[in-house]
A and B are shown apart, each in its own frame.
Chain A
């Protein structure tokens, strides 16, 4: 039982490049979330998916797209990366109120 897994662990991009962050959970949770964490700040919600087939914007959705591929997987895509998107990205999942987090992806955009 791996919980919530994220790939890659670390990525360096140049401005304008695109990439997809992958997230998978094996806990049969309905809800999944993407957050970003900037230095000295708490996490901010980018997008979430209350159930398979649905996605909704969070607090900071601009510059991102998401896909809920199936119940297990929820991906986050940066179409044209910007330096302001340098951050640590966390994926989480939940069945009820309690959210369980993955280990994070550190993204550096030059």
Chain B
């Protein structure tokens, strides 16, 4: 199957700092999503971004499909940004909706 690697595995930030999370994948994809899992376990979809750049408030994401990576940017981090960020992809050759998740990046934002 497709390999999805996220880096770094852990990140500690001071409130107000900026950061970049990376997702590398091993095959061509037609679906890439970023999720945030808060400390209570709830998973929230942040972006659907198989290619290009999107922004939503302090978060933005860029996917370069030809080079098989995606980046998630967090600017002016807040304590509510803490949690685990997952990248999930669906191979172009796979059936609809078969997302493969990376292991995640654990982010802790300190006051």
Which A residues lie at the B interface, using CB under 8 A? Answer: 31, 33, 40-45, 48, 50, 56, 58-59, 88, 90, 92, 94, 97-101, 103-104
Q: Choose the segment among B37-45, B55-63, B68-76 that binds chain A (4+ C-beta atoms closer than 8 Å).
A: B37-45
- Taking CB atoms, residues of chain A closer than 8 Å to B41 are 88, 103-104
Which B residues lie at the A interface, using CB under 8 A? Answer: 1, 4, 31, 33, 35, 41-45, 48, 50, 86, 88, 95-104
Tell me whether chain A's interface is mostly helix, strand or loop, or mixed: strand
Chain B CB count within 10 A is highest, among A44, A50, A56, A97, for A97
- Taking CB atoms, residues of chain A closer than 8 Å to B48 are 97-98
Taking a contact as CB atoms under 8 Å apart, the answer to whether A97 and B104 are in contact is no
Report the Cα distance A90→B86, complex, angstroms: 14
Taking a contact as CB atoms under 8 Å apart, the answer to whether B102 and A50 are in contact is no
Taking a contact as CB atoms under 8 Å apart, the answer to whether A31 and B97 are in contact is yes
Tell whether A50 pairs with B96 under 8 Å between CB atoms, given A90-B43, A97-B31: yes
- Taking CB atoms, residues of chain A closer than 8 Å to B31 are 97
Chain A residue at minimal CB-CB distance from B30: A97
Taking a contact as CB atoms under 8 Å apart, the answer to whether A59 and B45 are in contact is no
Chain B residue at minimal CB-CB distance from A88: B41
